[in-house]
Amino acid sequence: MITVGGIGTGAPYVDITNILAGPVNNSMSNLTVAGTNNPHVVGTMWLINAADGSCGTFDASPSWQAAVPIQVGLNTIAVCGTNLWTLLTNDTISVVRLPGAPGNVTATDGAFPSKVRVAFAASVGATKYEVYRAPASTPTNFTALSGEISVTSYDDATVDSGQQYYYAVQSGSSYGWSALSASDSGFALFTINAGEWKFKAGAKVNKKGKMTGKDTLKGAVVNPPLMPYFAQGWRIGIAWLINGSLSNCNGPYTLTPNKSQKLWQVKDPAKGTPKISFIKYSVNDKKGDKLDYQLWTNMPVNKVVYILPTNVNFSTSTLLNEQDNSEPPVQFRLQPKGKANMNGWQELDTTVIETAE
């Protein structure tokens, strides 16, 4: 029997007490709603999220709390209850969940001659993105780069060739921005104009198996100068082509300067490592920079000279697979002009390897 004027027969009242001041991070996938109700709310109470229809039930209590899933974007959550006469009451709360940071952020390593392409996965609920960049010297000091974009890739054409950068991305909506994503490093391809190269065969092996002479390959001025990169610890090596594929990689070796930094020489490889080539890098303030190579007889004429940043691990496989097009990140080829005549001086062409877009 229901007593008129007793508990549960008056006007029911529900009040949500934990009102949030602003958007919540994407990491919050469930929201705990808390509140109170007067004694006339009896039986089972329920809450529902209009964003996706998620709902739940709990027993009426003067002080209660219940959890409900929330989606990216706007969530309008209603908490409802009734009295003994099934008179309905409710209170609502609106909560915004921000989009998550983009995943799978990648920056190209030397894939293009004058830019770095940053790509990333779309974020659920995001309507815009912004790419950030940091220099390699301070890889966590990010500054905004792209401005707001609506696509999931961005070409950074403001890079210095060969310089390494770190990239991270934010996703956003009309409600706000996510945290920065995990970062990835990238750099633009070194484009090198090395002018004319000459090859001279002169190495001979005596009866004791020792070499009494050496082949030489001398190159003209290199532009841009490589000294700043060597000063940062970049390393140089040599490989050669067999049936059009890179093989027999040698190096990379660390170049160490003399006191005046006018001459850089290859540091001797580890004991037991075959020393296939000697590389000397000269710096001339008036005429420019120059690379000289002294080659042994087991070094073919068709070669690839490559330069790697300090943080790129080296092996034959990484050299061949550093990029999708199986080219190392920094390189130029020295190939004979016309027939490969090993007698006397042989003029060579330099070909800068650039990835086609």
Q: What CA–CA distance (Å, rounded) separates 154 from 136?
A: 19
What pLDDT, on a 0 to 100 scale, did the predictor assign at position 348?
62
Tokens of 106: 């990648």
Q: Which candidate, 326, 355, 297, 337, places its Cα nearest to that of 195?
A: 337
pLDDT average, residue stretch 51-65 = 93
pTM equals: 0.63
> Does the structure show a pLDDT above 50 at 340?
no
- Supply the mean pLDDT for the chain: 78
Whole-number percent of the chain with pLDDT over 70: 61
CB–CB of 235/255 below 8 Å?
yes
Residues of the chain with CATH 2.60.40.10: 14-97, 106-187
Higher pLDDT, residue 351 or 147:
147
The 3-class SS string of 118-178 reads EECCCCCCCCEEEEEEEECCCCCCCEECCCCECCCEEEECCCCCCCEEEEEEEEEECCEEC
pLDDT band at 15 (very low <50, low <70, confident <90, very high): very high
The pLDDT of 63-78, averaged and rounded, is: 94
pLDDT in tens, 255-293: 777 777 777 777 655 555 555 566 777 776 666 677 777
- Measure the CA–CA gap between 150 and 171, rounded to whole angstroms: 10
Compare 235 and 211 and report the one with higher pLDDT. Answer: 235
More confident residue, 262 or 40: 40
Q: Report d(CA 20, CA 166) in Å as an integer.
A: 35
pLDDT in tens, 160-198: 866 789 999 999 999 999 999 999 998 876 666 656 666
* Closest-CA residue to 162 (of 202, 196, 116, 220): 116
Look at residue 354 in the predicted model and tell me its pLDDT: 40
Average pLDDT over residues 143-167: 91
CA distance 224 to 195: 12
Residue for token pair 């001979």: 204
Please tell me the predicted confidence (pLDDT) of residue 73: 95
Residue 7 has pLDDT above 80, yes or no: yes
What was the pLDDT predicted at 258?
A: 75
Fold of domain 14-97: Immunoglobulin-like (2.60.40)
Q: Please name the fold of domain 106-187.
A: Immunoglobulin-like (2.60.40)
Is the pLDDT at 220 greater than 50? The verdict is: yes
Q: Pick 354 or 90 by higher pLDDT.
A: 90
Question: Regarding predicted confidence, which is higher, 80 or 201?
Answer: 80
Residue 211: per-residue pLDDT:
54
